[in-house]
Structure 1
Amino acid sequence: MKGIIAATYAPMNQDGLLNTDIIEDYGNFLVANKVSGAFVNGSTGDFTALSSMERKELIAAWSEQRSEGLFLINHVGHNNLNEAVELAGHSADMVDATAALPPFYFRPKTLDDLVFYCKQIAQAAPNIPFYYYHIPILTRVSLPMLGFIEKAHDEIPNFAGIKYTEDNLSDFKQCVDKVDGSLDMFFGIDEKYMDSIQMDAQGWVGSTYNHLAPLYHEVASLANQDLWEAAGKLQAKGIHFVQVLEALGGYHGGGKSFMRYFGLDMGPSRFPHKTFNDSLLRQAIQSFEKEGLSDYLAKPFYGDSVA
C-alpha cells in the first residue's frame, strides 16, 4: 500500500449523533483529490469519544458506501481487549485491513505483552492485513519498534506493518530498512512529510490529507526532482495550516470544522475538542490566503463552502 491515506473524521449531525449519510460524498471527495485510502475510527475520528456501537455503525457505512479504489483501514484499538477483538471481527469482511493502537490506561510493559494484545486482535480478522498503530505521544507506550517488528512478524501471520506516528525519523528509517519493502511503514506526522520522503517512506496516514492533498502531491513531485528547497517551502505552508487552526482554538476541532470549506459539513466535535464557528473559519481562511495556501487546498466536491 503506497500513497497518502486520510485519517477521517467522524461526521455528525448538529445533535451530536453520527451522520453516515455523508460518507459516500466524503469518500468521493478523497478519491477526487487523489487520496489512496481512508483510516477510519482513529484519533482524528474521535474514536475515544465514540461507543463501540458507533464505531461499528461508522465502519459499516464506509464499507457500504465505499468509493471505488479507496483502501479502507478500520482502527479497532481499545483499552478493553475483548472490545477490540469484537470490533476487528465485526469489520473483517468489510475492510481491507485493521489497525490497533495499544491500551493506554493500564499499558503493556513489554514487547511480549504488546505482541499478545495485537495477536488476539489480528486473529479476529485473519484474512486481512493487521497494522500496529504506534503513537507514543498519546498512548505513552514507547516500546522499541525494531524489536516489535521481529516478534510480530514471527507470531502474527497477517502482520502487515506499522502506522508510525512518532517524531523519530532515525528510528523510522531503521524500521524501513529492516522490513526492506516486505511490510508497510506508514509515516504519521504530516508536518514531517518531506523529511519522511528522505527516509524512504512510501505510505502516509494523516489528518491534513483531508485538506491539503494537492500540496503533498506537489511536495512529493518536487522531492522526486531533487528540488528540496521548493519542497520545503510548500511543507512550511502545510505546517502553517496546522498552526493557524491550533492557535484559533485547537487543530483537531478546527480541522474537522474546516471540512465545511470543501462543502462537507462534518458537524460538531465531541468534548474536549472545539467546534469552530463561521467567524473562526473565516479568520483561518484569511490567514491561509495570505500564506498562499489557497492553490493547494483540496478541490471541493459539492455544495456551498464557508469561503
Structure 2
Amino acid sequence: MKIKNLVAATYAPMHKDGYLNTSVIKDYSSFLIRNKIAGVFMNGSTGDFVSLSIEERKEITLAWSKNKTSNLYLIDHVGSPSLKVSKELAAYASDKVDAIAVLAPYYFKLNTIEKLVKYCKEVAAAAPNLPFYYYHIPVLSGADLNMLEFLKVASKEIPTLEGIKFTNNNLIDYLHCKNFENGKFNILFGFDEILLASLPLGADGWVGSTYNHLAPLYYKIKELFEAGKMVEAAKLQTKAIRFVEILDGYGGFNGVAKGFMKYLGVDCGPSRFPHTTLPDEVYLEIKTELDNIGLLDHLSK
C-alpha cells in the first residue's frame, strides 16, 4: 500500500517526572485523525528514540497498536546503532504495526551502499511480513549515500522493501528515486520546510514533525499549488519555516515543539535531555509571536 498525504512523526508522551505516559496516545490518535493525518511515524527522531530504552520503545509500539484504526497507517522506526537491537525491535513490531523503518547506524557510520543494504536486509528479515522503509536522514545518521544507488541494489536484495523516508534536501536524488522503476517505490518526502518544492516533482506523501502542529497549513499549500497559485503557496510555506525558526529560537525545536502540543490539546509532557522543556508561561510568548505572523489560524485543531 502506498501511503499518501501527511504522516506525523510523533512524540513520545511523558509524565512530568519523565516517565512514559502512553495513556495520551488514544487522544493523540484522535487528534491526528481529526486533522486528516494519514499515518504515524513512531519512535523516530521526533520521538526521542535515542533517549529511550529498548523497553520504552516497545511500550510506545504496543500503545499505538492498541489504538490502531483504519484511519492511521502505523510505521515503527526500529533503528539502532546495534543491529541486534534493531532486529529485536523489528521482530517485536511484526504483529503490531503496518510497516517498519530503519535508519543507518549513526556511531560507527556506514560508508558504502553494500554495507547499508546488508544492514537493512537483516532488519527487514526480522519482520518478513511487514513493508520495510529505509529512513534517509544523513544530517543525523552520517550515511550521506546516494539513494538511487541504494534502490538499485536494495530492490534486488530486500523483498519487503516498500520505499524511503527521504529526509534530505537533495531534490535531484529524490526525483530519481521517485521515478525509479516507473515509480514502483513509496518515496516519502521528509523535509517539512520545503514541502512546496517537492510538489512539482510528484511528491504525494510526506513524513514530518510539524504535521502534528500545522496540518491545515500544509494541506492548504497543496491546494494552492494544484490551483496554480504559487505565490500564495510560497507565502504559506514561509509561515511554516518561521514556525520552526521561532520555536527553535527558544532553545531548540524538538523539545519546544513537543511542549507546544499541549496548546493544541494533546499534552505530550516534557522532553528528555538534551532537548529543552519550557515553562508554560513562555508558550504564551510563542503564541504571541505566531499570532503576529498570522499563523494561529493555520494550527491543527
TM-score tier (shorter): over 0.9
Taking the TM superposition and a 5 Å limit, the aligned residue runs for 1:170-181 are 170-181=172-183
Find the aligned partners of 1:179 and 1:292 in 2 and give their Cα distance: 43
Deviating beyond 3 angstroms after TM superposition, the runs of 4 or more aligned structure 1 residues are: none
Query: Which residue of structure 1 lines up, in the alignment, with residue 107 of structure 2?
Result: 105
2:71 corresponds to 1:64: no
1:288 deviation in Å?
0.7
Find the aligned partners of 2:104 and 2:260 in 1 and give their Cα distance: 29
- Indicate the RMSD between aligned Cα atoms, in angstroms: 0.8
Once the two structures are superposed, what CA deviation does each residue of 1:45-74 show, in whole Å capped at 9, x if it has no partner? Answer: 000000110000011000001244100000
Query: Which residue of structure 2 lines up, in the alignment, with residue 215 of structure 1?
Result: 217
Query: Which residue of structure 2 lines up, in the alignment, with residue 78 of structure 1?
Result: 80
Find the aligned partners of 1:167 and 1:182 in 2 and give their Cα distance: 21
TM-score w.r.t. length of structure 2: 0.98
Find the aligned partners of 1:181 and 1:31 in 2 and give their Cα distance: 27
Alignment: residue pair count: 299
Find the aligned partners of 1:180 and 1:284 in 2 and give their Cα distance: 45
Amino acid at match of 1:102: A
Query: Which residue of structure 1 lines up, in the alignment, with residue 272 of structure 2?
Result: 270
2:22 corresponds to 1:8: no
Kept in 2: contact 1:24–1:67 (CA 8 A)? no
Find the aligned partners of 1:280 and 1:186 in 2 and give their Cα distance: 34
Kept in 2: contact 1:96–1:129 (CA 8 A)? yes
Kept in 2: contact 1:28–1:67 (CA 8 A)? no
Taking the TM superposition and a 5 Å limit, the aligned residue runs for 1:1-307 are 1-299=3-301
1:88 deviation in Å?
0.3
Find the aligned partners of 2:125 and 2:237 in 1 and give their Cα distance: 39
Kept in 2: contact 1:77–1:100 (CA 8 A)? yes
Percent of aligned positions with the same letter in both sequences? 49
Find the aligned partners of 1:171 and 1:111 in 2 and give their Cα distance: 15
Which runs of 5 or more residues in structure 1 are unaligned? 300-307
1:279 deviation in Å?
2.2
Which runs of 5 or more residues in structure 2 are unaligned? none
Once the two structures are superposed, what CA deviation does each residue of 1:80-107 show, in whole Å capped at 9, x if it has no partner? Answer: 0000000000010100000000101111
Find the aligned partners of 1:66 and 1:262 in 2 and give their Cα distance: 22
SS in structure 2 opposite 1:260? Answer: helix
Find the aligned partners of 2:127 and 2:94 in 1 and give their Cα distance: 5
SS in structure 1 opposite 2:118? Answer: helix
Find the aligned partners of 1:187 and 1:288 in 2 and give their Cα distance: 25
1:181 deviation in Å?
2.4
Find the aligned partners of 1:109 and 1:241 in 2 and give their Cα distance: 34
